[in-house]
Amino acid sequence: MITVRKSQERGHVQEDWLDSRHTFSFGEYHDPGHMGFRALRVINEDRVQPGRGFPLHPHHDMEIITFIIEGALEHRDDMGNREIIRAGEIQRITAGAGIRHSEANPSDHEPVHLLQIWIFPEKKGLPPGYEMKRFASAPANELSLLISRDGRKGSALLHQDAAVYFAKLEAGRNLEWSLPTGRHAWLQVIDGALDLNGTRLESGDGAAVSDEEMLKLAGREASRFILFDLQ
């Protein structure tokens, strides 16, 4: 079964410095029909204007993933981390027992375009943690593992029975992904257009997948997407 969440159906927050699209309920946007999928709780597509950002704020008991699409984002936290995350890099924060952090666009002329993703951890009260990985050299037409429960293949560590993959699919090329019995998937299109088991998905679209043995992906246009393998 494939259930599509169209880009234009997402929640939308527009401010003078922020344009944000919410796949699931977040902040002032509440939709009881879209509270998350399995352990996946938040997918926000944010565009932050130059010199602006999110001031210091707290989180706890959440795995927070930041994926930069274009531009750069400066991160600071009370664990002593201060880093600029750029396109081709991904950040994982384990909020656990509690962290405070800020995120801002350090550029004076270029907006930053990013995905912020929240995944529930497998247990509460974990020690806070931080990790960054580069994926800019990921090969085309393959699924590249970014984050996993055991940190295999050099991926970042996730405290949940889940894995996060990234792919660049060229027009006219195909990919297949086997989905074991009892597992679920969420596919989030970053840009381009592709078919998922014959269902067309375009930029910003997401799709929940359950009870499908195989995911067959066909590139209609050059596309980028993230695939979540979930319990």
pLDDT band at 185 (very low <50, low <70, confident <90, very high): very high
Domain 10-134 CATH (choose: 2.60.120.10, 2.40.30.170, 3.40.50.720, 3.60.21.10): 2.60.120.10
pLDDT band at 195 (very low <50, low <70, confident <90, very high): very high
Task: Return d(Cα 99, Cα 231) in angstroms, integer.
Answer: 26
pLDDT band at 199 (very low <50, low <70, confident <90, very high): very high
Say yes or no: do domains 10-134 and 144-230 share a fold: yes
Predicted pLDDT at 138 = 84
pLDDT band at 137 (very low <50, low <70, confident <90, very high): confident
The CATH homologous superfamily of the domain defined by 144-230: Jelly Rolls (2.60.120.10)
pLDDT at residue 140 tops 90: yes
Buried b (16+ CB within 10 A) or exposed e, 53-71: bbeeeebeebbbbbbbbeb
- Cα–Cα separations (whole angstroms), residue 229 to 8, 58, 108: 24, 28, 37
How is the chain split into domains, by residue range?
10-134, 144-230
Predicted pLDDT at 135 = 84
Would you mind telling me the total number of residues written for the chain in this entry?
A: 231
pLDDT band at 136 (very low <50, low <70, confident <90, very high): confident
Q: Determine which helix (DSSP H) or strand (DSSP E) holds 216, and give its type and residue range.
A: strand 214-219
Considering the entire predicted model, what is its pTM? Answer: 0.95
- 173 φ, ψ to 5°? -100, 160
- Is residue 217 within 8 Å of residue 194, measured between CB atoms? yes
152-182 pLDDT tens trace: 999 999 999 999 999 999 999 999 999 999 9
26-83 pLDDT tens trace: 998 999 999 999 999 999 999 999 999 999 999 999 999 999 999 999 999 999 999 9
DSSP lists the bridge partners of residue 163 as 148, 229
Instruction: Report the percent of the chain where pLDDT is more than 70.
Output: 100
